[in-house]
Structure 1
């Protein structure tokens, strides 16, 4: 049975792919996005144009609302006009290092905006809110693989702190108002239509231009790179399954991933970390060009390794990522080169 879904961050990387998945299966999608200039708005407009093309050519039910999450009145209007079966909240001010330069944008989008979303979902009695968290909440943790059952109270940059705050705010609303919620901690997502501020995208740009790329921590970082189609499969599965209360929840020894409220947290990643130097080798092979590499020390706000324990989401949602880094990078490069040619005119 088709659903009516509010999807925030629809002009963003993951939001765009999620919209395509939902529309392809026959859902009605209302997309919400401010189309800000954190990175090239032309890419965001190109994603929206592609969704509009799919709507026109496929007879799909897609509507776009351009507004800011911090504008509570705009959200109220959307909910007054449409009754939603599900809300998938992916909009946020992204980026780790940008939070050092412009912390106010994280407060406005990730805290004020998220609080507005909780309020409108509460009053509309939405059946299920699925929201994006981040692997960055693991902060200074060094126990790997990262597990939802471990504590995450030591964020090392503001972006992570806002994402952890979202999890806590969501749990409070779930407890107070019996509002089912599922939070998804995304691990490094890559693929076609990706974000230019992400390392793999900027690496591709610089390799093709013959400019050097900087590998921090001397390239010894490892990241749980996860292909966007695998991420989207998990997002949609999570949205479809309404979070239940955990009947085995023990308040004397509480599990951070579950609750006596209808609330769940899941890692959503590949579960197979790749060292950054290896990732660059795969990118070089796909581009057919060698990189000029500069090895540099660790950056402020970075973590050495990310590694997702995905056993919980596998067991609960039958989620299993299938895309190898070789296949994923090849798909990204095919799109990247075509998009680069279009931009060049």
Structure 2
């Protein structure tokens, strides 16, 4: 029995990594085996209708002589009514587009594996020749999509891009930890003021990253679809940056706490602030120092890598995708 030639066209980076782990897929019913080929390239943009992506995939399938093709995109997909889509299928042309963020982010490889196997099984069936869209629930699906977009941004990879800011914050924290005025300020602050200081420092650094990196997305037009796309892009960027800055904040706190335990003499601290400086007070001191150092280090230094920061924003990757598609369509 001849094998079925299957093409997986995946957006660069994370979708390609997902696709490359699917090359061993095969039917569960013992029918014709699948010969899977992975191609890494952008094939859609968020400003276009999903039908444009279907058309590009069909063209690629004809060029490669594939029997069917599945596109794996990192973008959210929408139908003409503005509903978020998990997948769009044209079984007659044996073409499908799967939105990976719509899978929810967690256990991405396992969920993508099940989804792609189901799509290929369905399109390989000669009795199936319909075109359909699988949409997400309106409210719950939007939160699921946003979570998938944030995890697709991989906020933990922001840390290398914030390296210079983190180093500056560590230096600021090291100096502030041994400053008696800082001891007195920390000892006088209530817990709710410390919470506000933490929130304010993180929020201001995130705002600085958005402004300095020009990460805020604006809709291409005034259509509801364009505005919804921009809202999703901006929400995912803000949450991603906030998660990345919080990771740096926790790392800064841990390092400063170890530094404080190593250098501070309890008797000296006690004599300076006229308080019984116990371990709990030391945690409070480092909490205050971490907030001040995050603010000073984050706003006082340049970004280590624009590329790392831009990777956190769908709007920037969207522009790169459009540029590459324009180059591919341009004549030699």
Higher helix residue share? 2
Question: Which of the pair has more CA radius of gyration?
Answer: 2
TM above 0.5: no
